[in-house]
Amino acid sequence: MASPIADLTYRNYDGPLEPPVNRWWAIAKMSMRLSTKKRGFWVWSTFSCFWYGILLIIFYVNDTLAAANPMGQQVSLLKGLVWKDQFLNAFSESQLFLFILALLTGAGSIANDNRAKALLVYLSKPCTKLDYVIGKWLGIFIPITLVTTVPAVVFYLYCLMSYRSYGFWSQDPWLFVQLMGMVLIPGTLYASITLAISSLFEQGRLAGAVFAGVYFISYFVTLLMELVHTQMTMGGNEVPPIVNNLFYASIDGLQIGMLKIILHTNGSPKFPIQLGQMSTRMQVPEPSTFLFIPLFLVICAGSVLLAWSQIRAVEVVR
Amino acid sequence: MVVASQVSRWYGQVIGVNDVTCEIGPGITALLGMNGAGKTTLIRLITGQLRPTTGVLTVFGLQPFANPEVYRRMGYCPEIDNFYEHYSGRDFVRYLARLDGMSAAKAASRTDEVIDMVGMTERAGRRIAGYSKGMRQRIKLAQAMLHDPDLILLDEPLNGLDPVGRREFMDLLHGLAENGKGILVSSHILFEVEQMTRSLLLLHRGRLLATGDLGVIRSLIDKHPHQIRIDTDEPRRAAELLASVPNIVSMKFDRSGEALELEVREPAAFYDALSAAILERGLLVRGLSSPDNNLESVFKYLVEA
Amino acid sequence: MEQAIFFQALRENLRLRRFLPWIVLGVLLVFGFGHLWSTFQPDASLEQRYGTVSSILVFHILALTSAILTSTILSQEIEQKTIVYLVTRPVPRWKLLLFRYLACGLVVSFLGGFNAVCASVGVYGSLGAGASLAKDIAAIVVGAFAYGAFFMFLGLLFNRAMIMCLLFAFGWETMVPNMPGQMCYLSINSYLQAIAQHPSQGGNKGLGLLTSTAGDNTLTSSVGYMAMIGFAVALVALSAWWFSTFEYLPREDAE
């Protein structure tokens, strides 16, 4: 047990460790409790569902009007709709809000601990660096994933009950499984990136500023490339591969790319109206699965590793 | 220097300081109170970081809020432990010296002086991020004394200082007080405050419980008679000699049988009688003490009341 | 005293850790896109390409830089609680604010100017943008101080102003200049575009949207200068009054 020579490290506990779940889960719970106490978390979470709300209204009104029309379903906008693309579009529209949620929940997660020197407290408990990282990661991942999951599932169930006659089920019977994969993407990426950025700073505000800077600047690249793609397509020009690749070179782009791969679609126009072949061509095509998934995983794993390497059990005086 | 008249400060529905009226003059004054008593709020009101919700507070006859004229004559050592961590101690103090309006050369020389006064000369070139608690405390003290202010406010200044540092610091304060400076020290470490001053301001739950000299305050607390302990080989004879003295509330022998413990209402009259007993009746006394004539007891009695 | 405030703020903003990322960003993003733009818009003239890259990247990054650097002029001091040392010194609060603002404006101007140079080198391969570059730099300096004044004021009003500033920089400043009627005049970017006088995007609505020139902006360069200088002066004065009037305490709940 204890040696006659004093242990001068911060870790004094050398008894048996509880099963890991108790340790990282305690940290995750604490992080989530802090996030969900913020009013902004609930406000932005609600806003993030807005596109589903708009779609619900459009579908409901359209369906009601179609029922009143002698031609019925023949003229309905819902006819020929690519259902999985509606989830992709709803996700795209919610990205700004998810970014704000990540900013609220993740930017200060390690930075605030650095400032308060709370890392020393955490790591003086029977809790490893890995427990800490996993706990913090889950503390960001779970809230964001819940925010993406709940409206998607509600919308899915509503469509399943109401629009089977428009091909909701027959078009893609595996859609629910795909959706369950899709909803994990934002949480995974945001948790990894914010954790990495947060670990580099001692102030949540600075970490948030850097994260916001990275997000907006890279988002602008995506926006720019989307426009260039549209312009070139409309002008009948061949779109160079660099445009399509750069479209995915952002935090938003990475997620959209992954979602397109999971849903196996290029996407369709935001509003559920049929614009013909051109509208389909104007969508930036799905990225290469074999290159993109490893890239996504490397970015996430690299970010978590960076955070892990930054966490020190002792106070380092520089 | 500081005059507060019926000063109250509310934070929403929480009251920080409630109807405080007091004056603070030259010399060392201790601001005492438990956590949450309103010490920091009162200091923030005096340093003009806050405005009173009601009442009037003046420093050198001026309203202190955002008033450079007041800050020219006031130094403040806050309780917080925050700095520009990437600065060296010397750079930090020099920057604040420049904000005090000193020229670059004057700021540099004055910085060296105050850093020397707080015993940080050899370590002032290092980054603050690497400082110990005591070193950080010394740097805070240094910046408070930079412009040779007439009034210095120190919020929990002894936190983190080692015993030698505390002694040096107290000597420094006494020196400043002897030169006519006003010094307000906020603390809840009573025995240390007692070594610094007998003049106090006692706050409890935002209200001013007592102000003035510790001895005077103690003598005014009638509810609790003064406890006096006489160490003697003849406790029973001592009891016999002193029994007739008026204002003695109770007497008892301690368990060892070598001391007499008394409770007395007017200690001055009692000490006269005791002197007479010793000198005229030959009572042999080995020791005399008053266990509750100290800051801690005064604090306890007032807060309990 | 004023010098000390100014140079301390300058020193803070020029710390390598804070400054270098913006320089790297300028080189990678602005220069990179300037260089690549001939692929995306092969028919456009060099001047048009430079104008497009400058409008899309340089001016948006200017707003972003200003949002991040200027909104923290005081909020960072409040959060790290060092505000106490500043507000209890014999220096008028307005001076504290003004000289910090000036230092921040200078740094943002420099970074914006650097980005404009990167755009010019990316597009022309040299400083060939000439007159356009000079006009851009003038617009950038004016913009740095106008954005700075606005973000500083927001930073004084709200605890967590940075999110608002970022939404303004990327949401408002991208959308409002493209709105019809008089709405575009509610955006700082419209005035900066008026000062910079980039070549028109013609009928290209998409590029018009991204360059924030799709609205009915008929402002002249001189109106742009006057409006922005007036706006900055008014907001700085308002901020100085605000900071001198209201209490600024360290945040106990800072996160």
Residues B56 and B81 in one domain: yes
Report the residue of chain C nearest A209, measured CA to CA.
Answer: C68
| Position A1 confidence tier, pLDDT thresholds 50, 70, 90 | very low
Q: Provide the domain count of chain B.
A: 2
CA distance, residue A165 to nearest chain B CA (Å): 58
Share of chain A above pLDDT 70, in %: 84
Residues B279 and B210 in one domain: no
Q: State the Cα–Cα distance between residues A120 and C167, nearest whole angstrom.
A: 36
Residue B164 touches partner A, C-beta closer than 8 Å:
no
Out of A165-174, B174-183, C92-101, C195-204, least confident range: C195-204
- Would residue C252 count as lying in a domain? no
A124 CB-near residues (< 8 Å, 6+ apart): A10, A11, A12, A13, A313
**Mean pLDDT, residues B165-184:** 87
Residues B203 and B285 in one domain: no
Strands B207-213, B259-264: parallel, antiparallel or unpaired by DSSP?
unpaired
- SS3 of B229, please? strand
Q: Which helix (H) or strand (E) covers residue A293, if one does?
A: helix A289-310
Q: Find chain B residues with C-beta within 8 A of C103's C-beta.
A: none
Report the residue of chain A nearest B81, measured CA to CA.
Answer: A116
Share of chain B above pLDDT 90, in %: 26
Residue A318 touches partner B, C-beta closer than 8 Å:
yes
| Angstrom distances, CA of residue B52 to CA of B11, B37, B56, B211, C240 | 11, 16, 7, 20, 22
Residues B194 and B157 in one domain: yes
Of residues C9 and C162, more confidently modeled: C9
Among C4, C80, C248, beta carbon nearest to B95: C4
Residues B131 and B270 in one domain: no
CA distance, residue C210 to nearest chain A CA (Å): 7
Q: Name which of C8, C88, C93 to mutate to probe chain B: the one with the most chain B Cβ atoms within 10 A of its Cβ.
A: C88
Residue C3 touches partner B, C-beta closer than 8 Å:
yes
Q: Which helix (H) or strand (E) covers residue B209, if one does?
A: strand B207-213
Token pair 């020229």 is at which residue? B103
**Mean pLDDT, residues C205-234:** 85
Amino acid at C12: E
DSSP A282: T
Q: How far is CA A302 from the centre of its chain?
A: 17
Q: Per residue in C246-255, pLDDT tens?
A: 888 765 543 3
Q: Name which of B35, B63, B71, B98 to mutate to probe chain C: the one with the most chain C Cβ atoms within 10 A of its Cβ.
A: B98
Of residues C248 and B77, more confidently modeled: B77
Of B169, B231, B173, nearest to B27 by C-alpha is B173
Q: Is the pLDDT of residue C232 over 70?
A: yes
Residues forming a β-bridge with B250: B263
CA distance, residue C209 to nearest chain A CA (Å): 9
Among B49, B84, B95, beta carbon nearest to C88: B49
Q: Find chain C residues with C-beta within 8 A of A205's C-beta.
A: 72, 75-76, 79, 162
Q: Per residue in A105-136, pLDDT tens?
A: 988 888 888 877 777 777 776 677 888 899 99
- Would residue C161 count as lying in a domain? yes
Q: Of B164, B184, B218, which residue sits at a domain end?
A: B218
Residues of chain C whose C-beta is under 8 A from some C-beta in A? 21, 25, 29, 33, 36, 39-41, 56-57, 60-61, 64, 68, 72, 75-76, 79-80, 162-163, 166, 169-171, 204, 206-207, 209-210, 255
Among A96, A209, A217, beta carbon nearest to C29: A217
Quote the strand ranges of B13-170, DSSP E.
14-24, 27-32, 54-59, 74-77, 151-155
- Would residue C251 count as lying in a domain? no
What is the pLDDT at residue C254?
38
**Number of Cβ pairs < 8 A linking chain B and chain C:** 66
| Angstrom distances, CA of residue C199 to CA of C53, C55, C132 | 11, 10, 9
* Domain residue limits at B231: 221-304
Residues B180 and B261 in one domain: no
Q: Is the pLDDT of residue A8 over 70?
A: no
Q: Is the pLDDT of residue B118 over 90?
A: no
Q: How far is CA C144 from the centre of its chain?
A: 4
What is the pLDDT at residue A318?
47
Residues B98 and B214 in one domain: yes
Q: State the Cα–Cα distance between residues B265 and B95, nearest whole angstrom.
A: 56
Residue B48 touches partner C, C-beta closer than 8 Å:
yes
Report the residue of chain C nearest B152, measured CA to CA.
Answer: C88
C244–B80 C-beta distance less than 8 A: no
CATH code, domain carrying B110: 3.40.50.300
Q: Per residue in B33-65, pLDDT tens?
A: 888 888 889 999 999 999 999 999 999 999 999
Chains near B, with 3+ CB pairs < 8 A? A, C
CA distance, residue C72 to nearest chain B CA (Å): 15
| Angstrom distances, CA of residue B158 to CA of A118, B117, B134 | 24, 16, 9
What is the pLDDT at residue C253?
44
Q: Find chain C residues with C-beta within 8 A of B76's C-beta.
A: 84, 88
Residue B80 touches partner A, C-beta closer than 8 Å:
no
Q: What is the dihedral of CA C235, C236, C238, C239, to 10 degrees?
A: 110
Residues B73 and B172 in one domain: yes
What is the pLDDT at residue C212?
78
Residue B127 touches partner A, C-beta closer than 8 Å:
yes
Residues B153 and B254 in one domain: no
Residue C92 touches partner B, C-beta closer than 8 Å:
yes
A188 CB-near residues (< 8 Å, 6+ apart): A141, A300
Residues B212 and B227 in one domain: no
B82–C5 C-beta distance less than 8 A: no
Report the residue of chain A nearest C70, measured CA to CA.
Answer: A209
Residues B243 and B205 in one domain: no
- Would residue C128 count as lying in a domain? yes
Interface of A with C in 26-55 (CB under 8 A): 34
Out of A200-209, B28-37, B293-302, least confident range: B293-302
Of residues B222 and B213, more confidently modeled: B213
| Position A315 confidence tier, pLDDT thresholds 50, 70, 90 | low
Q: What's the ipTM?
A: 0.83
Q: What does the mean pLDDT of chain A come to? A: 82
Q: Which helix (H) or strand (E) covers residue B261, if one does?
A: strand B259-264
A224–C210 C-beta distance less than 8 A: yes
DSSP A266: -
What is the pLDDT at residue B134?
85
Residue A184 touches partner C, C-beta closer than 8 Å:
no
Out of A103-112, A127-136, A279-288, B200-209, least confident range: A279-288
Q: What does the mean pLDDT of chain B come to? A: 86
Q: Find chain A residues with C-beta within 8 A of B80's C-beta.
A: none
Residue A317 touches partner B, C-beta closer than 8 Å:
yes
Residue B80 touches partner C, C-beta closer than 8 Å:
yes
Residues B122 and B235 in one domain: no
CATH code, domain carrying B276: 3.30.70.100
Chains near A, with 3+ CB pairs < 8 A? B, C
Q: Find chain B residues with C-beta within 8 A of A318's C-beta.
A: 127, 129-130
Using CA of residue B8, residue B9, residue B14, residue B20, what is the dihedral sign? negative
Using CA of residue B164, residue B169, residue B171, residue B172, what is the dihedral sign? positive
Q: Is the pLDDT of residue C48 over 80?
A: yes
Q: Is the pLDDT of residue C240 over 70?
A: yes
**Mean pLDDT, residues B206-211:** 85
- Would residue C173 count as lying in a domain? yes
Q: Which helix (H) or strand (E) covers residue B9, if one does?
A: strand B2-11
Residue A230 touches partner C, C-beta closer than 8 Å:
yes
What is the pLDDT at residue A46?
92
Q: Is the pLDDT of residue B282 over 70?
A: yes
C80–A212 C-beta distance less than 8 A: no
What is the pLDDT at residue A21?
60
Q: State the Cα–Cα distance between residues B92 and B111, nearest whole angstrom.
A: 9
Chains near C, with 3+ CB pairs < 8 A? A, B
Residues forming a β-bridge with B200: B30, B212
Q: Find chain B residues with C-beta within 8 A of A202's C-beta.
A: 85
pTM of structure: 0.79
Domain boundaries, chain A: 20-310
**Mean pLDDT, residues C145-165:** 88
What is the pLDDT at residue C76?
81
Q: Is the pLDDT of residue B236 over 80?
A: yes
Of A188, A187, A30, nearest to A109 by C-alpha is A30
What is the pLDDT at residue A276?
58
C79–A231 C-beta distance less than 8 A: no
CA distance, residue A318 to nearest chain C CA (Å): 14
What is the pLDDT at residue A229?
83
CA distance, residue B157 to nearest chain A CA (Å): 21
Of C247, C214, C223, nearest to C93 by C-alpha is C247
* Domain residue limits at C236: 2-245
What is the pLDDT at residue B96?
93
